[in-house]
A = this chain, B = another copy of it.
């Protein structure tokens, strides 16, 4: 017989907001997309240029996901050839403090403790 389980000292996040928000940031690229939209509206091709190693397919997927969840707005421009522009919604702007907090921790991480994988930016 081992030790008895102690009661947790922290409450589970009600209705799982932690997971709900992490779902938004899931994947290698979603945080970068949001990061580069903080400066204002940005076209598809501009985002591809901002985030060089993202593929068109994944960028398209992330943009549609973020749009479906009300984080960004898509605007079709009446140009030739046609182009599209994406912009953070009011709700989407609320992600920025979270992103800032994450970046702030990131700057304190020791580089030698980083994983040996591709970086996402």
Residues of A at the B interface (CB closer than 8 Å) are: 2-3, 5-6, 8-10, 12-25, 28, 31-32, 35-36, 38-40, 42-43, 45-46, 49-50, 68-70, 77, 79-81, 83, 91, 94-95, 97-111, 113-115, 117, 119-121
A113 to B23, CA, bound (A): 11
Which residue on B lies nearest to A113, using beta carbons? Answer: B69
The reply to whether B5 and A46 contact each other, CB–CB distance below 8 Å, is yes
The reply to whether A22 and B31 contact each other, CB–CB distance below 8 Å, is yes
Contacts of A15 on B, CB cut-off 8 Å? 107, 111
Q: How far is the CB of A33 from chain B (nearest CB, A)?
A: 11
Number of copies: 2
The reply to whether B21 and A38 contact each other, CB–CB distance below 8 Å, is no
The reply to whether A43 and B3 contact each other, CB–CB distance below 8 Å, is yes
Contacts of A21 on B, CB cut-off 8 Å? 102-103, 105-106, 109
A49 to B4, CA, bound (A): 12
Contacts of A80 on B, CB cut-off 8 Å? 2
The reply to whether B19 and A36 contact each other, CB–CB distance below 8 Å, is no
The reply to whether B120 and A19 contact each other, CB–CB distance below 8 Å, is yes
A25 to B103, CA, bound (A): 12
